[in-house]
Amino acid sequence: MSFATPLENEHHSLGASFTDFAGWQMPLKYDSDLTEHHAVRSVAGLFDLSHMGEIDVTGPDAARFLDHALAGEFTAVTPGRAKYSLICNEDGGVIDDLVAYRLGADQFLVVANASNAGTVFAELTERATGFDVAVTDRSQTTALIALQGPAAESILLTLVPPAEAAAVQELKYYAATTATVAEIPVLLGRTGYTGEDGFELYVPNENAVDLWRALLEPTVRAGGVPAGLACRDSLRLEAGMALYGHELSLDITPFEAGLGRVVRLNKKFVGSQALQKIADTAPARTLVGLVGTGKRAARAQYAVHDAYDPNSVIGVVTSGILSPTLGYPIALAYLDSDRSRLGSTVLVDVRGGKLPFTVVKPPFYKRS
């Protein structure tokens, strides 16, 4: 069973190659993922992310409920702000990483990964017992379009009425507002997964095609392109961002993933007991960045070896590419914590050869 987004025909007419992602037929690339990657870094890319999950959390207890259901603190979030967070199970394992937008005192929008949307909705529904809150799954009826890149703001401003221009220009990173784009009401978040400035626009499915077309025209005119999931992955990796299923999973704790700052142990939440027990002990493994020389990428599941004892396995790569922006191989990997010193050399088993990589702290790329 495969889902299609409301923009499927747009992608076909743009010549996209498709891939199945979490049961959705998604554009992988339109032309070349390298071209799209470079375009996002230099101008802008337009992404269809309608496969993501959108869950409304509404009611007088909405914030308190999210404090209980998620690892972060939501009672403290001001309306108009968004927060990156984790939903954990009782053992402290990560069920999903997500972004929650506070749209009002009693209203949140939780955005989950496509692969976990159903699970997250089921968990939130179950955890809502005893709270005066309504949890509604909007994933099937909500479209999400992202405009990412240094020209994103100027492109967006061509479509926004003059009275709203200032609000868009002043919208801070990880803030959200309602806006009118090409005469379509949207929820506009200054959020993204590329490491560039950019926006994520949420609309009901019936407005998706009009919004996409309206955004695509000034994007292309500015030198930008429609962009698919292939470059989305290379962009987020350069920006050092985790991908669920690679850097995050049920078997990985937030502390191992370097996301301790996301976990607020001063409150009780699902998983807090288990996490409290391990919070004061250094984790056995640590997520690190690796940079290499040459052109061979260290890829997911490649083994990492001690530089002085090439047969000993000290970790595993979780994501890796030849960085299009930087021109050298970059990767994220879990290493034994006592082998994860910054600046140290490790050997990665790349197709039978052991290539040296240096341990670094992500991100690999930061926008100027």
Partner 1 sequence: MSEISLPENLSYTDEHEWVAVEPGAALPADPVRVGITAVAVDNLGDLVYLELPTVGSTVTLGEACGEVESTKTVSELYPPVAGTVSIVNTAVVDDPELVSKDPYGEGWLFAVLPSEAGELLTAAEYAEKNGVDA
Residues in touch with partner 1 (CB under 8 A): 29, 32-34, 230, 234, 295-297, 299, 321-322, 324, 351
CB of 28 to partner 1, least distance (A): 9
Which of 261/295 has CB closer to partner 1?
295
CB of 248 to partner 1, least distance (A): 21
Which of 17/75 has CB closer to partner 1?
17
**Percent helix / strand / coil, the chain, rounded to 5:** 25, 35, 40
CB of 300 to partner 1, least distance (A): 11
Q: CA-CA distance, 44 to 226, in Å (whole number)? A: 9
Q: What tokens were used for 11?
A: 């992608």
CB of 311 to partner 1, least distance (A): 23
CB of 322 to partner 1, least distance (A): 5
Which of 50/234 has CB closer to partner 1?
234
Which of 56/349 has CB closer to partner 1?
349
Q: Are 33 and 230 in contact (CB under 8 A)?
A: yes
Which of 19/337 has CB closer to partner 1?
19
Q: Within the chain, how many helices (H) and strands (E) appear?
A: 9, 20
Pairing of strands 17-21, 3-4: unpaired
54 φ/ψ angles, rounded to the nearest 5 degrees:
-125, 125
Which of 31/106 has CB closer to partner 1?
31
Q: What tokens were used for 43?
A: 């101008």
Q: Give the list of residues 6+ apart from residue 257 with CB closer than 8 angstroms, or none.
A: 94, 242, 247, 248, 287
Which of 182/290 has CB closer to partner 1?
290
Which of 185/294 has CB closer to partner 1?
294
Q: Where are the beta strands (DSSP E) in the chain?
A: 3-4, 17-21, 24-29, 45-48, 53-58, 82-88, 94-104, 107-112, 134-137, 142-148, 176-181, 184-189, 198-204, 225-226, 285-292, 303-306, 313-322, 329-336, 345-350, 353-360
CB of 356 to partner 1, least distance (A): 17
Q: CA-CA distance, 130 to 207, in Å (whole number)? A: 36
Q: CA-CA distance, 220 to 45, in Å (whole number)? A: 9
CB of 34 to partner 1, least distance (A): 4
Triad 77, 123, 143: Cα angle to 5°: 70
Which of 35/125 has CB closer to partner 1?
35
Which of 26/88 has CB closer to partner 1?
26
Quick one: CA dihedral 298, 302, 304, 309, positive or negative? negative
Q: CA-CA distance, 286 to 339, in Å (whole number)? A: 9
Q: CA-CA distance, 142 to 117, in Å (whole number)? A: 13
Q: What tokens were used for 262?
A: 């996301």
CB of 18 to partner 1, least distance (A): 13
CB of 301 to partner 1, least distance (A): 12
Q: Are 311 and 304 in contact (CB under 8 A)?
A: no
**297 secondary structure, DSSP code:** P
CB of 37 to partner 1, least distance (A): 9
